[in-house]
Amino acid sequence: MNLYKRLLFSLTIFTCSTCIAQNDTSRTTKKNYPVRQVTIEPGLGIHTNAGTDLLITNLVQWNPYKHLSLASHTSYNINNALQRNFNGIQTNYNYSINQKIGAGTTFYTQRSAHTFLLMAGLKYTSFKESLVTPDLDKVSSLVNSVSPDYGFMYSLKKGVNKYFFSFRMYVPLYPWPIKDSNILAVDGNMNNVSLEFGVGIKIN
């Protein structure tokens, strides 16, 4: 629980500090493309593992230069949201909290911006399962784990106004190849590829 509180506290501080880091929040390029300095992009998403995880996410992006992007990504995941009772096995709870920061670059087109980021951070996962079959003893299993979380993120901003459409895709580079170079470990990556959609807000 302490870890959980510390993580939440750290996330809040980091997000706030990123938000207030800049006063000048917007400018235009020579071709009038929107080069936003600070954006907040809340969204909802899924993991690609059959889409059973629901993600509530937020990306805070700061572009100090046209082609330099810094970002903070926070995600609260309700894992296995749709199947909490399966074959006599009850999921009591199952969630993850991810916090990553990263840097990358942004390319601009007429009405959109494409950002490619290398992200790194931590993932905290907690879940509990119990057997609820009358013929068998009631047994529960509890997992609390912290793991590294790094990978590539692609972020699309579509629209030139204060509010714009936001899409993100995150491809983790953990556990493969960092923890285990055996290609079988890539299932851990594939289960955590995420797709997120939302409305972004330009901060003035």
Partner 1 sequence: MKNITVLIKRLCIVSIVLMVLFLNSCKKVVFDFSLTKEFSIQAAASGANYNIKVGLPLNYNSSGAKYATIYVLDGEENFDFVANECRRISEKYGTKNVLVVSIGYGNDRSIDYTPTKVSSLTGGGSQFLNFIKTQLIPAIEKNYNVDTTRDGRVILGHSYGGLFGGYVYGVGNKLFGNYILLSPSFWFDNLVSLQFEKDNRANNKNRKQLVFMGLGEAENYGRMQAPFEAFYQTLTKHYTNIKLTKNIVKNLDHLGSKNPNIVLGLDYYFQNR
Q: Which residues bind partner 1 (CB under 8 A)?
A: 52, 65, 67-68, 79-80, 83-84, 86-89, 91, 94, 104-105, 118, 125, 127, 129-131, 133, 135-137, 139-141, 143, 145, 147-148, 174-177, 179-188, 191
> Cβ 103 to partner 1, closest distance in Å?
8
| 13 versus 132: smaller Cβ distance to partner 1 | 132
When the beta carbons of 25 and 105 are compared against partner 1, the nearer one is: 105
Exposed / middle / buried, residue 178 (Cβ in 10 Å: 0-12, 13-18, 19+): middle
To partner 1, the closest distance from the beta carbon of 201 in angstroms equals: 26
Rounded to the nearest whole angstrom, what is the least distance from the CB of residue 197 to partner 1 in the complex? 24
Closer CB to partner 1, residue 35 or residue 201?
35
Minimum distance of partner 1 from residue 115's CB (angstroms): 12
